[in-house]
Amino acid sequence: MTNNKKVLQFIDESAALCQPDKIVWIDGSKEQIENLRAEACSTGEMIRLNEDLLPECFLHRTAVNDVARVEDRTFICCKNKEDAGPINNWMDPAAAYKMAGEIFKGAMKGRTMYVIPYSMGIVGSEFAKCGIELTDSIYVVLNMTIMTRVGKNVLEAMGENGDFVKGLHARADIDESKRYILHFPEDNTIWSVNSGYGGNVLLGKKCFALRIASYLGKNEGWMAEHMLILGFEKPDGEVKYIAAAFPSACGKTNLAMLIPPESYRKKGYKIWCVGDDIAWIRVGADGRLWAMNPENGFFGVAPGTNAKSNPNALESTKKGTIFTNVVHNLENNTVWWEGLDKNPPKDAIDWKGNPWTEKEQAEGVKGAHPNSRFTAPARNCPCISKEFDNPKGVPLSAIVFGGRRAKTAPLVYQSKDWNNGVFVGSIMASETTAAATGAVGVVRRDPMAMRPFAGYHMGDYFKHWIEMGKKVKNQPKIFNVNWFRLDDDGKFLWPGFGENMRVLEWIIKRCEGEVDAVETPIGYVPKAEDINLDGTDVTKETLEEILTVDKETWAKEAEGIEEFYKQFGDRLPAELSKELSDLKARLK
């Protein structure tokens, strides 16, 4: 399928190591995909669901010990340990290749090695990057055909000498003690072994699109960010674009696919989803930042997704979707999960493959794993942007950071300038809820929501943000939002979900100079009258409370930031040290 010597050499070397019985090239054709689905169903790897209710949809179960990303088994393998930084796990590349090579040796005996040529981004666009993933899992192949752009045209775009990211994955024995997700940024290489869970084995996703791509972006002058991209359409038809980063459990997918409140819909406002998870960002010829979603599908968390919380996400799963670790509803051969509705099926199999009876349900046995997933084609989404396939991407008016803070951050504030915005992103944090760790209110810093995903030293990553700002003539404005302010009784003060449209409207108005703001020590906060509350139960007094910036709370926050920054040593940019000392001075 190709004369690219680098590709052929990569396949030959990997086959010699893993010793598969045969090698199959994935061409992306419908016929081949259907044959692979049939094969996976014949071996029990997948279950075909009700064709009338869920056409071309399938159920898959992972091993019970293999249900989530494994941060503690994920390594950055670069020559100099210091370059991996204090937040990443590091391994020496030579040692990593040797150690994992022993595990890969003969790991595909009796199995097929599939060669997946894929593109992150529209094939052939200036944003796009190519990859080859070698895997012994049909599940991986079928997921990659949803999540990325797969096929012969990728090999054509690479040509006879084009570069690509080398990805090698083997299920091996799904042995968690020998499970490794290894990134070699200096070699453009990813090795993943002993896992079958999507987050560890769909190598185009976090592995390539963030960890390797963030390193490429630093060297090539662009950015790979853990951000949604949405289009905000005004009644006159003009669309403005926002990229936003949130740690997990902060409503990122809900925001990407937001349904405006009825009063906004009646006036003609719309939200368009360009991407729900990852943004690749470049400086355009016009001096603006342009963002593109490198993915082609959604890898979403199923539990809690329903017709009320996120109807667009739910609608996206209605065809051509692979469900992982959810409940198999035997009554009509469909799927179910906690939070889908209040009617769990009476005749069902749980995510482990065991009968899930009313007795188990009464005892509180969960039917779906809390991290169960759906892999759905982005084109299924009712609010997918018409710019989704635009090779140029979309121009950004605003960048938004967010977190889950009970008292600290106001509902929304705008940074003073680009460097101050980088500071705002670098101090992003969420407080743990009881569900996470048992400890409540512990602050976990997650800069730019990239803590688990930066492929190099976080201090250098901050520096790259500051350098990018110098290249952007028409900078997007940078904001921080917090939908999670609590009152003294622990109740949310802001309704969230679709009502977040009201905050987005203020953000766009600020970008266009249409509204004024109040200057505070942390940045610019809205005047209460400039946020439209029509049709909500939120009073002006409550809004004023959510917009307050308490100096004492922030003085304590500044101490936490200082402590966090210490770990970056002299790799912390001087600009951020200055931002912190300026904040402290303003708080006095």
Query: What residues does 231 pair with on adjacent strands?
Result: 241, 272
296 vs 276: CA distance, rounded Å:
10
Q: 18, 57, 207, 250: which is the annotated catalytic residue?
A: 250
7 vs 182: CA distance, rounded Å:
20
Is position 254 annotated in a ligand binding site? yes
Is position 568 annotated in a ligand binding site? no
Spatial contact of 46 and 38, defined as CB atoms under 8 Å apart? no
Specify the DSSP element, H or E, that contains 481. strand 477-481
Is position 404 annotated in a ligand binding site? yes
Is position 276 annotated in a ligand binding site? no
Is position 569 annotated in a ligand binding site? no
Is position 571 annotated in a ligand binding site? no
CA 184 to chain centre: 21
96: nearest Cα among 203, 165, 183: 183
Beta-carbon contacts of residue 406 (< 8 Å; ≥ 6 apart): 431, 441, 484, 485, 486
Spatial contact of 551 and 490, defined as CB atoms under 8 Å apart? no
Is position 371 annotated in a ligand binding site? yes
Is position 206 annotated in a ligand binding site? yes
194 vs 176: CA distance, rounded Å:
7
**Dihedral sign for Cα atoms in the order 491, 496, 499, 503:** positive
CA torsion 211→274→118→179, rounded to 10°? Answer: 40
551 vs 545: CA distance, rounded Å:
14
CA angle 425, 426, 431 (to 5 degrees): 85
Is position 226 annotated in a ligand binding site? yes
Maximum CA extent, the chain: 70
Beta-carbon contacts of residue 132 (< 8 Å; ≥ 6 apart): 7, 10, 11, 115, 116, 117, 118, 164, 165, 166, 167
Is position 131 annotated in a ligand binding site? no
**250 labelled catalytic:** yes
459 vs 390: CA distance, rounded Å:
33
Is position 73 annotated in a ligand binding site? no
- Going by the DSSP 8-state scheme, the letter that residue 85 receives in this structure is T
Is position 421 annotated in a ligand binding site? no
267: nearest Cα among 574, 561, 532: 532
Is position 402 annotated in a ligand binding site? no
Is position 143 annotated in a ligand binding site? no
Burial (CB < 10 A; 0-12, 13-18, 19+), residue 366, is middle
Is position 498 annotated in a ligand binding site? yes
Is position 485 annotated in a ligand binding site? no
Is position 277 annotated in a ligand binding site? yes
Beta-carbon contacts of residue 147 (< 8 Å; ≥ 6 apart): 202, 204, 205, 295, 296, 297, 299, 375
322: nearest Cα among 30, 4, 37: 37
Is position 372 annotated in a ligand binding site? yes
The 3-class secondary structure across 32-58, one letter per residue, is: HHHHHHHHHHHHCCCEECCCCCCCCCE
Is position 251 annotated in a ligand binding site? yes
Helices (H), 183-261: 198-201, 213-220, 252-256
Is position 500 annotated in a ligand binding site? yes
* Residues annotated within a binding site: 69, 197-199, 206, 226, 248-254, 277, 371-373, 404, 497-500
**What are the binding residues for Mn(2+)?**
206, 226, 277
> Where is the binding site for substrate, in residues?
69, 197-199, 248, 371-373
Catalytic annotation, residues: 250
